[in-house]
Amino acid sequence: MKKTITKIAIALSFLSGWSSVAQTTVTFDTFTLSPNSYYQDNVSTPFSSGAAIFDYEWDPSFGGYWSGGTSYTNVNDTVNGTYTNLYGNITGTAFSGTNYATTKNNAVISFTNNTTAVNGFYLTNTTYAWKSIKNGDSFARKFGDTTGTGSGTSIAQGEYPDWFKVIVRGYRGGIMINDSVEFYLADYRAAGTINDYVVKNWQYLNCSILGQVDSIKFEMKSSDTSFGFINQPAFFSIDNFVTQSTVGIEELTNLSNLSLYPNPTIELTTLSYGSNSVSELNITISDITGKEVKRITSQTNIGKNSIGLNTETLESGIYFVTIYSQNASKKIKLIKL
């Protein structure tokens, strides 16, 4: 299967001597469930673990049904691809332990303090969504199928550039921040069919580029919207949801117009911070796995507002430049061609 196209961000890392952070991993195994079952509450009661609060919505109409948010589960059904299997994921197991969670489009996870950063989590397709994408159903077309797309004869049957993704949006003070993270749960956009894929295992999504947040929201999108909405089941499953406290590390705000240019780059990029009030910056460059590949420390920048970063030895790919100044930090995505 083609490697996931979109893998974003690095785990927050701090230079020696900086404030320590405490990580918390929600595995959902702290919740008690009978085998092959799921969380259900007919008065829309959220559930929580550590600093994370998972919203949950129940609609009493038509006899009652799960209408929004997240539900923890241990359903292991990888065969039933209908609406009667809303909770099971296509791997048939949790990433670790017994329980995991399934979440719906527009689900929100909020936090008990505003100094929380989401490191990341594992995710995969539900059985319901995976079967719909691979085979089509009464609402959704089979991915790649040109029937009903309006493509005419310009695109060969089986080669329609379909996609299905989740976007993680962060909120700070109730306001959506500029940075977001996206992950393709299915991607048929590449030419031909050999690189088409629908995720069928657990994949890690790093979200630390969002920085400090008081909540995150999952937004799902698809190329198949012939009825005016996502025709695939807008569900996915998550596990090992990792957060950390960022007490003592603030967002870097004393530097104006922070940017990298050119970006994308080949051999050299310039970090511009539009301020000459900073006496020292510490900079690290990490790859998408979180491995530090370059460090520039104790740079004296009095009277300057930029610094050049040599990227010639870096392999092509996505990197993150993290800038530290006193007790503050900021990350910027860098693309090396």
What residue spans in the chain does CATH classification 2.60.40.3080 cover?
Answer: 252-336
- From its phi and psi, is residue 62 left (phi > 0), alpha (psi between -120 and 50) or beta? left
Q: Which of 1, 336, 5 is nearest to 189 (CA)?
A: 5
Residues of the chain with CATH 2.60.120.1350: 23-245
Amino acid type, 178: N
**CATH annotation of 23-245:** 2.60.120.1350
Higher-pLDDT residue of 105 and 313 is 105
Cα distance between residue 196 and residue 99, in whole Å: 30
pLDDT tens profile 58-79: 999 999 999 999 999 999 999 9
Question: Which DSSP symbol is given to 135?
Answer: H
Among 28-32, 205-209, 218-222, which is the least confidently predicted range?
Answer: 205-209
Gap between the Cα atoms of 200 and 85, Å rounded: 16
Cβ within 8 Å of residue 76, ≥6 positions away: 36, 88, 92, 93
Which H or E run contains 133? helix 127-135
Does the pLDDT value for residue 327 go beyond 70? no
Give the residue carrying structure tokens 């499953």: 237
Q: Does 24 score more than 80 pLDDT?
A: yes
Distance, CA of 315 to CA of 5 (rounded, Å)? 16
Residue 330 to residue 250: CA distance in whole angstroms:
9
Q: In this structure, what DSSP letter does residue 312 have?
A: T
Q: How many CA atoms lie within 13 A of 225 on its CB side?
A: 10
Of 102-111, 186-195, 295-304, 312-321, highest mean pLDDT: 102-111
Residue 18 has pLDDT above 50, yes or no: no
Question: At which residue do the structure tokens 């040109």 appear?
Answer: 146
Tell me which of 30-34, 218-222, 266-270, 297-301 is least confident: 297-301
Q: Kindly state the tokens that stand for 184.
A: 């393709």
Look up the CATH number of domain 252-336: 2.60.40.3080
pLDDT greater than 50 at residue 4: no
Angle at 80 (CA atoms; ends 79, 81), nearest 5 degrees:
105
- 3-state DSSP assignment of residue 236: strand
Tell me which residue of 263, 264, 242 sits closest to 118, measured CA to CA. 242
The per-residue pLDDT for 279 is: 56
Residue 117 confidence (pLDDT) above 90: no
Say if residues 156 and 107 touch (Cβ distance below 8 Å). no
What percentage of the chain reaches a pLDDT higher than 70?
Answer: 81
- pLDDT of 84 strictly over 80: yes
DSSP strand pairing (328-336 vs 250-251)? parallel
- Tokens describing residue 250: 């603030």
List helix spans (H) across 180-324: none
- Is a pLDDT exceeding 80 seen at residue 290? no
Q: In which band, very low, low, confident or very high, does the pLDDT at 304 lie, cut at 50, 70 and 90?
A: low
Contact 84, 143 (CB under 8 A): no
Q: What is the DSSP letter of 140?
A: S
Q: Residue written as tokens 């949790």?
A: 94
- Cβ–Cβ contacts within 10 Å for residue 253, how many? 10
Q: Within 10 A of 55 (CB to CB), how many other CB atoms are there?
A: 20
Per-residue model confidence (pLDDT) at position 178: 86
Q: What is the DSSP string of 205-227?
A: EE-GGG-EESEEEEEEEES--TT
Q: How far apart are CA 188 and CA 34, in angstroms?
A: 38
Please give the structure tokens belonging to residue 47. 């559930």
Strands (E), 37-104: 47-49, 52-54, 56-59, 65-73, 100-104
pLDDT digits (tens, 9 = 90+) for 310-323: 888 888 888 888 77
Mean pLDDT along residues 201-210: 89
**Tens-digit pLDDT profile for residues 220-257:** 999 999 878 899 999 999 999 999 876 655 555 555 56
